[in-house]
Structure 1
């Protein structure tokens, strides 16, 4: 005698093949796609606004190149910030590290070594600052907010001491030539190509490597990650090294873009990078991060800045608009988290 098995009350057939049942991954992918499409919609709306308000200036090829070039510097910083926030940390020192790396790399002594000396110094200073942050947080037990705030103050002070408040002009032609139109590849500025390369590598590392899975695990539940065999302290150290590396690369890009090194470089980069990562979908409490969303967040903020500049609107209104976007993004995150 066969026994009849009634279907479960939730309407799903537990006896159906696994391929036919909706998976958790499918639901997560759907949410990610919706979030990405929403960001693309916002970016498209901004482009439409720019095209309507200043069609000749905004849609000009050179202006679009300028937007992408300006997005490249903060974009590289945001990629590193995305990894840190995904792990449940924060880095308030990225702007100061960019400033320190840029002025250290543009001293007269450094410029004597040419292109290689400037690039190496910028990256080395960034990684060195990231190492200090990582050691203080991972092995010194300091709260990321406090450790990186201390680095912010120290790096800014050291940058001011090196420059003595003066602008350091770059005289190395091989560095300056990267910002000229003759060096563009198929109409794309070299800085944008570097940004694209960093973005692709960052996406692959976060989504396709053990390092990325460990980063998400540490951000989701550090104790569970430790019990699973992950060296949480070493992972956090690597993440701040990565953030410092991105700051060093960004500092070199800023040197190419401005042709100088100043102690005021990177001002408020930490806020812009955090904001771009948050509106892109990276969870501020850790455990979820998206490089694609962060890059779209950078492009959205950069486009807003460009539209405001073309329309001669005051910067305070621009900051208010950015603040409203950040608040809206956080509220959406909290609502999404409460319904899942």
Structure 2
């Protein structure tokens, strides 16, 4: 099978340059978008250090920020691939809820740690498979297919749990959420997030799978003519998104010690927003795992700052919206520069 021609590939900004235009001399893993995100994150840290220095800069609070970012971060890695490939996934939050509920039923908990983990992953893969088949071979518009999955998965999770919170009784699962499980002061969930991030970056930037994803997102017909199996690639992207949702669901089970149908509420919006401000184009063809992770950290830090300063959620949402608008305007400006 032929790889996509160089003209189709808009590689991850965290990888090789996307344009032959002259650029300032920057390290290979960074570009102007990444620098802008790092600048925003630095400003937020400075605000936290000035307003609540003892609380914000404490080890416990920094661990909390990273832990809270981990679950939505894993979901964001998966949805970044989908968006780069020219799709969208509105069902990620509902898939997290369904996987967390199914993995915490009494019948599943009887199989212990391995059974719960396997159940969460398989449920995520199953839902992702349905999305992929409907979109790639249906064919259905991604918005409609994933919207239907969002409604169905929420309804099924509500039916399975009967609207109740399902408490975890497996000690090996609960122990991972305890401080004794930290590795060199790092929570296990943060380590999982780091591993998923590294694997996602390698998959996007160093494999044929990543090049094909960028190619079909940039121009699906040209990618097909170049010999890429576009339908199969799209199916694999939604499977990857479902896998990330299954992993995130198990992480959420560890974090909360329970499973409930309200888990993952609005994750789809937060994940898409994080990917967008990280430099991923909604039209597909370009994106960056590094940027998406920074987007998650920015949103999580904003939430933490508002909580520490006892501020209402309304200004928090306004701040997030302003950041999204600024990020999109920056993208458009940089795109004109690239062209």
What TM-score does the superposition give when structure 2 sets the normalisation length? 0.92
Q: Which stretches in structure 2 are left out of the alignment for 5+ residues?
A: 1-18
After TM superposition, what 4+ stretches of structure 1 lie above 6 angstroms from structure 2? none
Local SS of the residue matching 1:266: coil
Q: How many Å separate the matches in 2 of 1:27 and 1:155?
A: 46
Q: Which stretches in structure 1 are left out of the alignment for 5+ residues?
A: 1-22
Aligned to 1:204: 202
Alignment of 1:227-242 (within 5 A): 227-242=225-240
Picking from 316, 319, 326, the partner of 2:317 is: 319
Aligned to 1:337: 335
Q: How many Å separate the matches in 2 of 1:133 and 1:185?
A: 37
**CA displacement 1:273-296 (0-9 Å, x = unmatched):** 000000000111100010000000
RMSD: 1.4
Local SS of the residue matching 2:310: coil
Q: How many Å separate the matches in 1 of 2:336 and 2:283?
A: 14
Q: How many Å separate the matches in 2 of 1:208 and 1:294?
A: 18
* 1:61 counterpart = 2:59: yes
Aligned to 2:253: 255
- Which of the pair has more CA radius of gyration? 1
Q: How many Å separate the matches in 1 of 2:24 and 2:145?
A: 34
Q: CA deviation at 1:35?
A: 1.1
Q: How many Å separate the matches in 1 of 2:59 and 2:74?
A: 23
Q: CA deviation at 1:317?
A: 1.4
**CA displacement 1:143-174 (0-9 Å, x = unmatched):** 00000000000000000001111100001000
Picking from 126, 130, 151, the partner of 2:149 is: 151
Picking from 263, 266, 283, the partner of 1:265 is: 263
Q: How many Å separate the matches in 2 of 1:284 and 1:190?
A: 32
Local SS of the residue matching 2:99: helix
Cα distance change, pair 111–274 in 1 and its aligned pair in 2 (3 A)? same
Q: How many Å separate the matches in 2 of 1:230 and 1:136?
A: 19
Aligned to 1:42: 40
Aligned to 1:110: 108
Q: How many Å separate the matches in 2 of 1:28 and 1:198?
A: 30
Picking from 168, 178, 184, the partner of 1:180 is: 178
